[in-house]
């Protein structure tokens, strides 16, 4: 006999966990205003110019700093890896998913970074989640810059330790927090290059504080790898502090033209992370094509230092151009150059107008940036030409004046 549903009085219904989803209307309001900037479909490779809706736009929103995502050698390496190994590893690194090319890439990365060992993960986000969570145990303290990337913050949350945040790039505030830490195990984790505003971590003073209190130092160099330092090793090399930084994390999705991530340091530290990081043990291994592409990118970085020189030439050209027009570019000292707008809706509106003018930029609003400090995040490639950048400056001047930002 079929059971009849018993009606429940409205006052007795429990609140559904999905109610928040049904009432969420932030994207709908942006769409209605004609300024929704997310999930734009790109119909081409991540080159200096991309195609969207059949139109060509100058790309100022990519992390393809060295312009390697469409490099013939990178694509060929990925294709050959698929032919040899197939499309995936069908398991975790811990069990059946370790291929010879994983080990070869880890050895190459350790050598390139000047460290004893490295281990690769399927994404950069997983590196920080897994490494921080397993290193910071109950009774330990992890110290984060307030502008650290979300994956650093989430890695700290997943740990059983205590999290303390210091004022952005303020080693004095870090020292104040550490004065209260007793004799517990301590780890400082900072971005080398802060991903929204392009400023560089005050690593010399942070290292001084770490040494004073016996703390470990980990640098997330997602946006510094391939960009900073004489050989492209990143922020620690930039400051001459490679021996003082215990762990360096990097991603493949920026300068290394792929997807994935790694962490490198002393062999004992990496051995521990390999056997304790849940995001490594319980995730499928990075696929062969991604590993081979990243490996080829490392080779190109080592053999073609002129790419980094062209990147910095383009960065200086745009920094000078933006400042001469009167834009506020914050404290950027890298190829990530913010244009400070202030109001969230102005950032959305300017992004849309720039798209209409043939320029792709990313609007950034809170919580990714402090409230009232909305910005347009622009970033540059070694493969941009001066003609690309001049077009961008013309459009930025036009739209900046329309919105009274300049």
Task: For residue 402, count other CB atoms closer than 10 A to its CB.
Answer: 12
The separation between CA 393 and the C-alpha centre of its own chain, rounded to angstroms, equals 25
b/e for 156-178, b at 16 or more Cβ within 10 A?
bebbebbbbbbebbebebbbebb
Give phi and psi for 403, each to the nearest 5. Answer: -95, 5
Annotated catalytic residue 223: yes
Structure tokens at 338: 């913010």
Cβ atoms of residues 346 and 403 within 8 Å:
yes
Looking at 122, 159, 195, 351, which residue is catalytic?
Answer: 195
Structure tokens at 333: 């000292």
Tell how strand 117-121 and strand 261-265 pair up: antiparallel
Looking at 223, 238, 352, 388, which residue is catalytic?
Answer: 223
Annotated catalytic residue 195: yes
Looking at 254, 352, 384, 388, which residue is catalytic?
Answer: 254
Annotated catalytic residue 258: no
- Catalytic site residues? 195, 223, 254
């Amino acid at each position: 006999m079929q059971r009849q549903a018993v009606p429940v009085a409205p006052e007795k219904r429990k609140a559904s966990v999905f109610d928040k989803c049904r009432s969420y209307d932030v994207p709908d309001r942006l769409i209605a205003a004609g300024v929704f900037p997310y999930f734009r479909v790109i119909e081409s490779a991540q080159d200096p110019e991309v195609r969207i809706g059949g139109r060509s736009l100058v790309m100022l929103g990519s992390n393809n700093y060295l312009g390697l995502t469409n490099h013939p050698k990178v694509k060929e390496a990925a294709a050959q890896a698929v032919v040899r190994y197939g499309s995936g590893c069908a398991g975790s690194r811990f069990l059946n998913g370790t291929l010879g090319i994983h080990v070869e890439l880890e050895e190459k990365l350790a050598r390139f970074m000047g460290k004893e060992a490295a281990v690769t993960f399927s994404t950069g986000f997983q590196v920080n989640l897994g490494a921080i969570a397993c290193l910071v145990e109950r009774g330990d303290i992890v110290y984060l810059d307030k502008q650290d990337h979300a994956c650093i913050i989430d890695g700290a949350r997943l740990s059983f330790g205590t999290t303390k945040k210091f004022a952005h790039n303020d080693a004095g505030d870090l020292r104040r927090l550490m004065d209260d830490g007793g004799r517990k195990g301590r780890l400082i984790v900072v971005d080398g290059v802060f991903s929204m505003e392009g400023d560089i971590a005050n690593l010399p003073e942070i290292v001084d504080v770490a040494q004073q209190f016996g703390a470990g130092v980990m640098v997330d160099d997602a946006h510094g790898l391939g960009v900073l330092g004489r050989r492209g090793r990143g922020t620690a090399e930039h400051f001459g502090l490679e021996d003082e930084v215990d762990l360096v994390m990097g991603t493949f999705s920026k300068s290394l033209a792929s997807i994935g991530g790694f962490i490198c340091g002393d062999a004992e530290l990496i051995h521990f992370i390999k056997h304790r990081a849940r995001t490594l043990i319980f995730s499928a291994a990075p696929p062969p094509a991604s590993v081979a592409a990243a490996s080829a990118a490392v080779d190109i970085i080592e053999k073609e230092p002129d790419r980094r020189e062209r990147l910095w030439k383009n960065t200086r050209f745009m920094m000078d151009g933006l400042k001469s027009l009167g834009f506020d570019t914050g404290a950027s000292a890298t190829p990530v150059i913010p244009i400070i707008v202030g109001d969230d809706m102005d950032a959305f509106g300017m992004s849309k107008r720039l798209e209409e003018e043939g320029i792709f930029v990313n609007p950034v609003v809170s919580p990714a940036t402090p409230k009232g400090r909305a910005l347009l995040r622009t970033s540059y490639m070694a493969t941009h030409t001066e003609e690309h950048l001049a077009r961008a400056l013309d459009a930025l001047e036009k739209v900046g004046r329309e919105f009274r930002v300049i």
